[in-house]
């Protein structure tokens, strides 16, 4: 098997005397979307931050394409193809759309100005609404438009790996569906993603693998098709009843049972 694009190997991290991550390990194959799910405070955002280099790993390793980047600063990680869309859509509200994109492209502009111009154009092609509103103050746009701006700001560096922290939070259902299409499009261009979501149904509709976190450790990892209601309910500690939308999404994505040997297969007509 080829080396996963991202490997989080037994990472611990914390703040002061508090340890938050107690040895997190997650492999993310190139071209896939990995989902991290867990209750509030489980350590999902801190995990993404150790990958982005915003929170240092105290032990363990983060490997990008097999290279140990554990001690790299965030800027070097961005320059090497990592994009981070932090929780809470942190656009600069008093800056225009284009100024926000320019700031996102800080490292790219320093390295290669002509590539920046082409990349800005590519982001505007993907998000015509951002081109239309390039001079508008970001803080005056709708939640969905700000979400597009955050994705655009990450894409402008032409990343290979994008970390997305709760992109659907606070969006209207319609805006969330639009955002889902955007993220699918991005993944379809071959960009690898790590997605953290509180909205489990939304997250499950996007990801290839599911990693369930509880109090700073990964308690379950599997392809999303092998995840069942009971596993999800047990590890997310939400009792035995999942929301109907989550259950529906799980069964729609379930890997079909292999046909049993010896029995004639019955073709189901819908």
Q: What angle do CA 112, 154, 95 make, to 5 degrees?
A: 90
Note whether 216 and 24 are within 8 A (CB): yes
- Measured distance CA(46)–CA(144) in Å, rounded: 25
Tokens of 2: 């080829």
Cβ-based nearer residue to ligand ADP, 133 or 235 = 235
**Tokens encoding 238:** 């939400």
Q: Which x/- pattern over 30-69 shows residues binding ligand ADP (rule: CB under 6 A)?
A: --------x-xxxxxxx-----------------------
Residue 224 near residue 33 (C-beta atoms within 8 A): no
Q: Which is nearer to ligand ADP, 42 or 171 (CB)?
A: 42
Say how far apart CA 243 and CA 238 lie, in whole Å. 10
By CB under 5 A, the count of residues binding Mg ion is 2
C-beta of 185: minimal distance to ligand ADP in Å?
Answer: 26
Cβ of residue 127: shortest distance to ligand ADP, in angstroms?
27
Work out what residue 84 binds among Mg ion, ligand ADP, none; the CB cut-off runs from 5 to 8 Å by kind.
none
Tell me which of Mg ion, ligand ADP, none is bound by residue 38, counting a contact when its beta carbon lies within the kind-specific cut-off of 5 to 8 angstroms: ligand ADP
Report the run of H or E that residue 196 belongs to, with start and end: strand 192-196
Q: Is 45 in the site for Mg ion (CB under 5 A)?
A: yes
Beta pairing partners, 6:
28, 64
Tokens for 35, please give them: 């989902």
Residue 45 vs 146, nearer CB to Mg ion: 45
Contact positions with ligand ADP (CB under 6 A) in 158-187: none
Report the partner that residue 222 touches, choosing among Mg ion, ligand ADP, none (CB closer than 5 to 8 A by kind): none
**Partner from Mg ion, ligand ADP, none contacting 83, C-beta within 5 to 8 A by type:** none
Smaller CB distance to Mg ion: residue 156 or 183? Answer: 183
Q: Does 17 bind ligand ADP (CB under 6 A)?
A: no
What are the residues whose beta carbons fall under 8 Å from the beta carbon of 147, sequence distance 6 or more? 89, 167, 171, 175, 179, 182
Exposure of 258 in the CB half-sphere (CA atoms within 13 A): 2
**Complex with Mg ion: residue 90 or 255, whichever CB lies closer:** 90
Q: What DSSP character marks residue 137?
A: B
Q: Which residues bind ligand ADP (CB under 6 A)?
A: 15, 20, 38, 40-46
Q: Which residues bind Mg ion (CB under 5 A)?
A: 45, 87
């Amino acid at each position: 098997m080829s080396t996963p694009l991202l490997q989080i190997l037994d990472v611990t991290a914390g703040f002061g005397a508090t340890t938050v991550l107690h040895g997190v390990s997650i492999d993310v194959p190139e071209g896939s979307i990995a989902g991290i799910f867990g209750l509030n405070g489980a350590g999902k955002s801190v995990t993404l931050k150790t990958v982005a280099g915003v929170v240092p790993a105290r032990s363990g390793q983060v490997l990008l394409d097999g290279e140990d980047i554990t001690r790299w600063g965030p800027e070097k990680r961005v320059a090497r193809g990592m994009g981070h869309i932090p929780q809470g859509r942190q656009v600069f509200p008093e800056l225009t759309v284009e100024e926000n994109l320019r700031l996102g492209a800080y490292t790219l502009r320093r390295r290669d100005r002509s590539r920046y111009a082409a990349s800005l154009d590519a982001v505007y092609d993907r998000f015509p609404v951002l081109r239309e509103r390039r001079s508008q103050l970001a803080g005056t746009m709708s939640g969905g438009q700000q979400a597009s701006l955050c994705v655009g700001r990450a894409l402008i560096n032409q990343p290979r790996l994008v970390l997305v922290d709760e992109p659907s939070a606070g969006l209207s259902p319609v805006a969330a569906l639009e955002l889902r299409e955007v993220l699918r499009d991005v993944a379809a261009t071959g960009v690898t993603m790590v997605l953290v979501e509180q909205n489990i149904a939304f997250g499950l509709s996007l990801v290839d693998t599911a990693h369930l976190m509880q109090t700073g450790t990964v308690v379950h990892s599997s392809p999303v098709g092998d995840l069942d209601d009971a596993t999800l309910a047990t590890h997310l500690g939400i009792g035995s009843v999942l929301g109907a939308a989550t259950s529906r999404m799980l069964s729609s994505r379930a890997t079909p049972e292999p046909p049993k040997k010896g029995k004639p297969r019955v073709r189901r007509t819908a």
